[in-house]
């Protein structure tokens, strides 16, 4: 993916795609660390500046990334496997929607939205089971977090 | 004299731990631990991350007692699932499946469960005593450490964590560096300069521990589990007698003893913990057995040894965290997180500054183990029923608890977005075979390491040779180097790989 090379015929793919990608990832983070840290003062050996430790770590990441990348070129490893986009995106969306809704819309709305997207991520939900489960969870959550722990979250959008 | 002191410490500890409130939190921890131990796909790291925000509302003693209970409780619960369902409830129970499930199929489920619980209990008691005995001298030693020694010790700790990590060593090192780098995001405590905060408000104070832990472990676990669903087949046979026969006990007790010793030793090592200990114990039992072919067909030693070992290791892995303030695995990183939420900085000073907390937590482990054996054996049926809750429902409940938990920490919706981000990142890591646990260790140690590095350089007037001139520091660095060399040598590498192959 990141190497961008067109897939040749069957069997002659990249040798260690996981290593290649991890190597690139480490190198990219290291390079980013250096770039965004380019203005950190280095100080003196007696009084190490803000930039010393990040620089050591960034260079470390670049070196390790390079070795892992080279390893990926020569040692064959497992293929990447399928990326399960659906559950991953839906779970992420569920949590993200909760973050966006919790303050304006209150606990119940954000909870139902979260659980709805969460349920879409799994396959075998039935509407009946989901509704009952969500209702139980909502009651439990209000009892526990609002009445029990007294969290400052509003329950309904209008309260 | 020494014995008197030990007695004094323990009575102080039991005084705290037997307080009504703390007993309650200990019980809660043990129950939650057993529950998540029984459930495959829900681990102690994720659960502790989930409960960290809640512990904010508890007194510090109660918080740490409960968090500890979750960890060793999970070791008990994990074996139940392994024996009855042939699925490891926890990764440390993987080997228990081999012989435990076979015993269950032969109608000896009760015996297997009982032996696992008895072994765990014995190991837990021994390990608790061991912590109580080993902690004071280690702390006395730790108080002599200078900043350079600490820095080198952390290097050693991180290197050991790498050795113990699954999979590629290089990637584990990379993940540690990444964790260290993430750890220093935000305002630099020494100079007040901002680092890598990109103008994002919540990053000014550094990345909070809870969202990163919850994202990488909690959210990510849900994503990973939903992508590879598993089947659960319960052993249908009734659990008959829970009392093991005299012959069973006789066969199991040497294995329990050996498992306890192995587990206690391996638990202390940084990066150690239940998984490694149970594998080591199983291998040794099989080697020592007169008839190794029985293993895998329901050998009682194959349950007794590993189960004792994983519980012993779970407990002795507290030693480096309690005495040196250095977490040796992801669970201990959570414990450090729990302490920091209450403003306690882990390290040798905890025992002297907060003796009630320190000894109370140790004493609570013994109490927790006693509670666990009680409600693991007679109540095993109830736990098994929990397996009926389908993961599709469990997953959304966990997702909700993650989100509300992070939100409640600072009433900050942005931090909930942060767990979403780290959930995605964690999924990519898993896809690339990069273990997130070393990253978490690095994240915790990052700021500490930088501070000690700076202090060491200041004290040595800028001479970096200080790390090689102080004998302790030199010793730690040599040990780290030797470990790294050993791990790269092919023969040992091979053995390590086979140990991690399930």
For B293-307, write each residue's pLDDT tens digit: 888 788 888 888 998
Contact B174/A118, CB-based, under 8 Å?
A: no
| Nearest CB partner across the interface for B184, out of A46, A54, A133 | A54
* Residue A12 reports pLDDT greater than 60: no
Confidence of residue B37 (pLDDT cuts 50, 70, 90): confident
A128 near B CB under 8 A: no
Inter-chain contact A45–B171, Cβ cutoff 8 Å?
Answer: no
Q: Does B413 touch chain A (CB under 8 A)?
A: yes
Residue A110, pLDDT > 90, answer: yes
Q: Output the average pLDDT for chain B.
A: 83
CA angle B413, B417, B422 (to 5 degrees): 145
Average of pLDDT values for B343-360? 87
Report the C-alpha gap between A104 and A92 in whole angstroms: 20
Please say if the pLDDT value at position B177 is more than 90. yes
Comparing B196 with A62, the larger pLDDT belongs to A62
| Each residue's pLDDT tens digit, B219-264 | 887 887 777 665 555 555 456 667 778 888 888 889 999 999 999 9
- Backbone phi and psi for residue B184, each to the nearest 5 degrees, phi listed first: -100, 5
How many residue contacts between A and B have a Cβ separation below 8 Å? 179
Q: Is B100 helix (H, G, I), strand (E, B) or coil?
A: helix
Q: Residue A157 has what pLDDT? A: 82
SS3 B344: coil
Residue B411 DSSP class: T
Backbone torsion region of residue B273, taken as left when φ is above 0, otherwise alpha when ψ lies between -120 and 50, otherwise beta: left
Contact at 8 Å (CB) between B364 and B371?
A: no
- pLDDT of A2 reads 41
Question: Which of A60, A92, A153 faces B420 most closely, judged by CB atoms?
Answer: A92
What is the 3-class SS of A54-111, one letter each residue? HHHHHHHHHHHHHHHHHHHHHCCCCCCCCCCHHHHHHHHHHHHHHHHHHHHHHHHHHH
CA B220 to chain centre: 18
Q: Quote the pLDDT of residue B41.
A: 65
Query: What is the mean predicted confidence (pLDDT) over B77-92?
Result: 78
Q: What's residue A48's pLDDT? A: 84
Alpha-carbon span B362 to B192, nearest angstrom? 38
Closest to B65 in 3D by CA, of B33, B109, B23: B23
Is A60 an interface residue toward B (CB < 8 Å)?
Answer: yes
> What Å distances lie between residue B211 and A17, B65, B202, CA to CA?
30, 22, 11
Q: Is B404 on the interface with A (CB under 8 A)?
A: yes
**Residue in this structure with the two tokens 């740490």, named with its chain if needed:** B64
Q: Whose structure tokens read 């809704």?
A: A101
Is the pLDDT assigned to residue A104 strictly greater than 70? yes
In this complex, do A22 and B417 lie within 8 Å of one another by their Cβ atoms?
A: no
Percent of chain B with pLDDT over 90: 9
Q: In the predicted model, is pLDDT for residue A144 greater than 60?
A: yes
Q: Report d(CA B277, CA B313) in Å as an integer.
A: 6
Chain A CB contacts of B408 under 8 Å are: 145, 149, 151, 153
Tell me which chain B residue has its CA closest to the CA of residue A80.
Answer: B431
Could you read off the pLDDT of B102-140 as tens digits, one per residue? 888 888 888 888 888 889 899 989 998 888 888 888 888
Query: Chain-centre distance of CA A25, in angstroms?
Result: 14
Domain residues of chain B, as ranges? Answer: 2-234+247-500
**pLDDT on residue B239:** 61
Asked if B345 and B160 touch (Cβ cutoff 8 Å), the reply is: no
Q: Does B419 touch chain A (CB under 8 A)?
A: yes
Q: Do A91 and B226 touch (CB under 8 A)?
A: yes
Structure tokens at B354: 């907060």
């Amino acid at each position: 993916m990141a190497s961008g090379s067109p897939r040749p015929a069957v069997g002659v793919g990249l040798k260690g795609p996981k290593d290649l990608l991890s190597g690139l990832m480490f190198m990219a983070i290291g390079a980013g660390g250096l770039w965004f840290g380019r203005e950190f003062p280095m100080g003196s050996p007696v009084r190490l500046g803000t930039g010393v430790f990040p620089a050591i770590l960034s260079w470390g990441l670049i070196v390790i990334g390079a070795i892992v990348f080279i390893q990926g070129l020569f040692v064959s490893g497992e293929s990447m496997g399928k990326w399960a986009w659906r559950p991953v995106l839906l779970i992420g969306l569920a949590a993200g929607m909760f973050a966006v809704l919790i303050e304006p819309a209150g606990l119940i709305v954000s909870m139902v939205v979260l659980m709805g997207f969460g349920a879409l991520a799994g396959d075998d939900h039935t509407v009946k089971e989901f509704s009952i489960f969500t209702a139980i969870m909502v009651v439990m959550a209000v009892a526990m977090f609002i009445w029990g722990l007294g969290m400052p979250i509003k329950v309904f959008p209008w309260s | 004299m020494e014995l008197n002191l030990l007695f004094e410490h323990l009575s102080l500890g039991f005084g705290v731990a037997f307080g009504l409130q703390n007993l309650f939190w200990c019980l809660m921890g043990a129950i939650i631990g057993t529950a998540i131990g029984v459930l495959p796909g829900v681990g102690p790291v994720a659960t502790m991350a989930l409960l960290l925000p809640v512990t904010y509302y508890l007194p510090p003693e109660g918080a740490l007692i409960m968090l500890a209970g979750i960890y060793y409780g999970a070791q008990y619960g994990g074996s139940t699932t392994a024996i009855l369902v042939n699925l490891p409830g926890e990764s440390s129970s993987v080997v228990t499946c081999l012989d435990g499930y076979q015993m269950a199929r032969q109608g000896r489920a009760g015996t297997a469960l009982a032996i696992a619980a008895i072994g765990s209990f014995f190991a837990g008691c021994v390990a608790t005593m061991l912590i109580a005995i080993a902690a004071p001298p280690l702390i006395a030693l730790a108080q002599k450490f200078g900043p350079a020694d600490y820095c080198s010790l952390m290097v050693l700790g991180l290197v050991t964590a790498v050795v113990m990590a699954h999979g590629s060593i290089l990637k584990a090192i990379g993940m540690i560096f990444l964790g260290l780098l993430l750890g220093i995001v935000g305002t630099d405590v020494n100079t007040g300069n901002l680092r890598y905060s990109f103008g994002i408000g919540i990053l000014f104070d550094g990345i909070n521990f809870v969202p990163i832990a919850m994202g990488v472990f909690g959210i990510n676990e849900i994503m990973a589990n939903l992508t590879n669903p598993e089947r659960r087949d319960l052993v249908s046979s009734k659990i008959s007698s829970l009392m093991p026969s005299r012959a069973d006990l006789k066969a199991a007790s040497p294995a329990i003893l050996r498992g306890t010793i192995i587990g206690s030793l391996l638990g202390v090592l940084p990066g150690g913990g239940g998984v490694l200990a149970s594998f080591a114990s199983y291998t040794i039992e099989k080697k020592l057995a007169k008839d190794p072919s029985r293993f895998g067909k329901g050998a009682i030693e194959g349950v007794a040894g590993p189960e004792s070992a994983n519980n012993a290791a779970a407990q002795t892995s507290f030693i480096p965290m309690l005495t040196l303030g250095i977490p040796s695995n992801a669970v201990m990183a959570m414990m450090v997180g729990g302490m920091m939420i209450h403003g306690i900085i882990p390290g040798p000073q905890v025992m002297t500054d907060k003796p009630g907390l320190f000894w109370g937590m140790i004493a609570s482990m013994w109490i927790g183990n006693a509670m666990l054996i009680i409600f693991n054996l007679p109540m095993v049926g109830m736990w098994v029923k929990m397996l009926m809750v389908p993961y599709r429902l469990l997953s959304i409940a966990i997702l909700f608890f993650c989100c509300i938990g992070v939100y409640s920490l600072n009433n900050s919706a942005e931090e909930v977005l942060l767990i979403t981000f780290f959930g995605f990142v964690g999924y990519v890591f898993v896809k690339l075979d990069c273990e997130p646990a070393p990253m978490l260790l690095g994240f915790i140690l990052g700021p500490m390491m930088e501070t000690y590095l700076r202090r060491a350089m200041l004290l040595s007037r800028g001479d970096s040779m200080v790390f090689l001139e102080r004998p302790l520091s030199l010793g730690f660095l040599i040990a780290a180097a030797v470990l790294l060399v050993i791990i790269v040598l092919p023969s040992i590498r091979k053995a390590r790989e086979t140990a991690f192959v399930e």
